[in-house]
Chains A and B, each alone.
Chain A
Amino acid sequence: MENRLMVTASPHIVDRSSTRKLMGNVIIALLPCVIASALIFGAQALLVIGVTTAASVGFEFLYCWLMKKPNPVGDLSAVVTGIILALNLPVSIPLWIAIVGAFIAIVVTKQLFGGLGFNFANPALVGRIVLFTGFASRMTTWTFTPKMEQTLGAIDAAASATPLQVVDAAGNSLLGQYPLMDLLLGNHGGVLGETCALAILIGFVWLVATKTISPAIPVTYVATVAVISALAGKPVLAELLAGGLLFGAVFMATDYVTSPFTLKGKIIFGLGLGIITCGIRFWANMAEGVSYAILFMNLMVPYINDLTRQKPLGARKKKKGENK
């Protein structure tokens, strides 16, 4: 397997990041979402997040101990995976199912492939997808506060659907009628992390400000979705604020190991994500396309990297026909 260290061409500048520091920043960026989820969904949300995170760390520790590998728990990556996975679950999920998800994310997707840096896709994402296919009904049971029910009543929709799922009797999407403020502040049904767009944006600002992530992927991704939505005649702002788009764009698509190195690669990545997400949302049978889009693009990353290799300093492009 190719060496998965972050290899870019020279010149290299050494700064004081370490995995722990980066992960710490991500955790801080996730805190607004955690708080928002507790405010919207209640204390159970914190329990779900806590249990999932503890399970993630526990599984990583256990696995490495059993396999006699050096213990990586200190780098906080398992904590991040745990929080992100939890924020992808609905508040009513039975805790044992969340633990199963943590197992899939940490042990199967990350450790079995070689640990941090070797995973082929975002661990939390794979955990979420497996839970979604395995426990579909549990993963799609939403709880509604009275305020949410009033909004749903106002647009004549049933109180068991997320904004992307509300349809009228003819099956037409009612997303455009959803009050935007509700979408922004998270006053709607959904999984823990995706509802409060404001919290996600705060996290995004922190991540960019601390140079933990490059804004290229989220910006390209969201912009692509906006453009395609507009072209397809869908309500643009509502499409951006609803569903897992913002959360996925900021926290899941930007995972270092599973996204391209170079700026060009990142832009291609974001474009691909946007196209696939819109494709699934508008023309396929599912209401939400973000998770599968990210998974698919994760798999494409090695090819994107190959195609967008940085030119080493001093090298010139090989002309066709030249010998090796």
Chain B
Amino acid sequence: MSKFQIFTNGLVKENPVLRLVLGTCPTLAVTTMAFNGLGMGIAATFVLFCSNIAISLLRNVIPDKVRLPAYITVIATFVSIVQMLVKAYVPALDKSLGVFLPLIVVNCIILGRAEMFASKNKPLDSALDGLGMGLGFTLTLVLMGSIREIMGSGTWFGMTIPFLADVDKFTFMTTPAGGFFTFGCLMALVIFIENKTGNKKERSIGCEGCPSKSVCGAKGGCE
């Protein structure tokens, strides 16, 4: 894949949330408001970018046996740094993200990309992959957050939408049930678009990196 393709991979084709179904926990939790989604996305992108580079640089050094603890330590360090920086310079974001900021450590996207890409590719490629995935994550969060916020509270990024001011708000959307529902609809939408544009390219998940390897009955990988 070309550098550009690596970058755009994470936007739609292999969108981490909607196609790889990684990082669903913060997705559902912080998308009650678009601003929170944006904040979370940017924080996660930063961590993803840095950790991908670091792990790619160390990929030949870290022995296979201890790769998971090593990855987690690296990721956790970056998350703590981000948390301290956010607390110092953007306290409002820290307040609204609350516990989900430190929870970026266990965000599957970061660990997943470290495992699937950064440990096998050069630093520059890994950096681009990190950026692309992070951007895809952020865009998805903002999209979901916007939908839920507009339908559920009638505001967008905190600003009241004028022509919705008197309409009853569908508060169901800001509940967890509404989150799941929106999530499902967006996933369906993305699959639909992919089917229509006929883009069934080979994915970067091989059987090796797939967590379902042991229970999968398909021969020769997915699709």
Contact = CB atoms under 8 A, between A and B. Distances in A.
A97 B178 CA distance: 16
A45 to B, nearest CB: 20
Contacts of A138: 168
Interface string A140-160: 000000000000000000000
Interface residues of B, number: 9
B168 A133 contact: no
Considering residues A108, A130, A134, which has the most beta carbons from chain B within 10 angstroms of its beta carbon? A134
B110 interface: no
Interface string B156-180: 0000000000001011110101100
Contact of B177 (A94, A97, A133, A137): A133
Contacts of A94: 168
B170 A136 contact: no
A100 interface: yes
A100 B181 CA distance: 15
Contacts of A137: 168
Nearest to A137: B168
B181 to A, nearest CB: 8
Contact of A100 (B170, B171, B175): B170
A135 B175 CA distance: 12
Contacts of A136: 171
Contact of B168 (A108, A130, A135): A135
Contacts of B175: 133
Nearest to A132: B172
Interface in B166-217: 168, 170-173, 175, 177-178, 181
Nearest to B170: A134
A136 B178 CA distance: 14
Nearest to B177: A133
A130 B177 CA distance: 9
A96 to B, nearest CB: 9
Contacts of A134: 170-173, 178
Contacts of B177: 130, 133
Of A94, A100, A133, A138, chain B has the most CB atoms within 10 Å of the CB of A133
Contacts of B172: 130, 133-135
B171 A97 contact: no
Contacts of B171: 133-136
A67 B172 CA distance: 27
A258 to B, nearest CB: 19
A134 B178 CA distance: 9
A138 B171 CA distance: 12
A138 B168 CA distance: 9
A103 to B, nearest CB: 12
Interface string A55-99: 000000000000000000000000000000000000000100100
A135 B168 CA distance: 7
A107 B178 CA distance: 16
B185 to A, nearest CB: 10
Nearest to A94: B168
The 8 closest A-B pairs by CB, nearest first: A134-B172, A134-B170, A133-B172, A134-B171, A135-B168, A130-B172, A133-B175, A138-B168
13 contacts: A97-B168, A100-B170, A108-B181, A130-B177, A133-B172, A133-B177, A134-B172, A134-B173, A135-B168, A135-B170, A135-B172, A136-B171, A138-B168
Interface of B: 168, 170-173, 175, 177-178, 181
Given A133-B177, A134-B173, 11 more contacts: A94-B168, A108-B181, A130-B177, A133-B171, A133-B172, A133-B175, A134-B170, A134-B178, A135-B168, A135-B171, A136-B171
